[in-house]
A = this chain, B = another copy of it.
Amino acid sequence: MTSGDCPLCALDAAEALWANDQCFVISAEIMGVGTICRVIWREHVQEMSELDAAAQGAFMSVVFGVEAVLRALARPTKMNVASLGNLVPHLHWHVIPRYRDDAYFPDAIWAPARRKALARPVEDAVLRIALEAGLRG
């Protein structure tokens, strides 16, 4: 996959919940878990170790800032943070609040579901305000 056919390159960062010059934040609903955030690097790069130390640091500081915002808003049992990209090899981090009674706990959200779970949506409007307050532009 090149940047020409990459679905993350095709996203419009201007519509993101939060953005800076290097990366942007979107939300997604995961059935049985709730609202998660994804932090997407703007440039089409495959691996974190292809970035220099300054870029790695800038990217992870946003990822962990998003983690802090989601912890404050969603009060999870545990946060999960993962960069996989097997299908879409363009750097993006999943920042996932987990709950003792979510559909997969204590397994990863990619495991088979263990139970039905309540929806736990966090509104984009709330996320926007919290990200703006919690992250440095």
Interface residues, chain A, CB within 8 Å of chain B?
46-49, 53, 56-57, 60-61, 64-65, 67-68, 71, 77-87, 89, 98, 105-108, 110-112
> A132: shortest Cβ distance to chain B, in Å?
17
Main secondary structure of the interface of A (DSSP, over half): mixed
Q: Is the CB of A84 within 8 A of B82?
A: yes
Residues of B within 8 A of A112 (CB): 112
- State the copy count for this chain: 2
Whole-angstrom CA separation of A56 from B65 in the bound complex? 11
Question: Can you name 12 A-B pairs with beta carbons within 8 Å?
Answer: A47-B78, A49-B65, A49-B67, A77-B86, A78-B89, A80-B82, A80-B83, A80-B86, A82-B108, A84-B108, A108-B108, A110-B110
Q: Is the CB of A61 within 8 A of B56?
A: yes
Q: Is the CB of B49 within 8 A of A71?
A: yes
Residues of B within 8 A of A71 (CB): 47, 49
Q: Is the CB of A78 within 8 A of B82?
A: no
* Chain B residue with Cβ nearest A80: B84
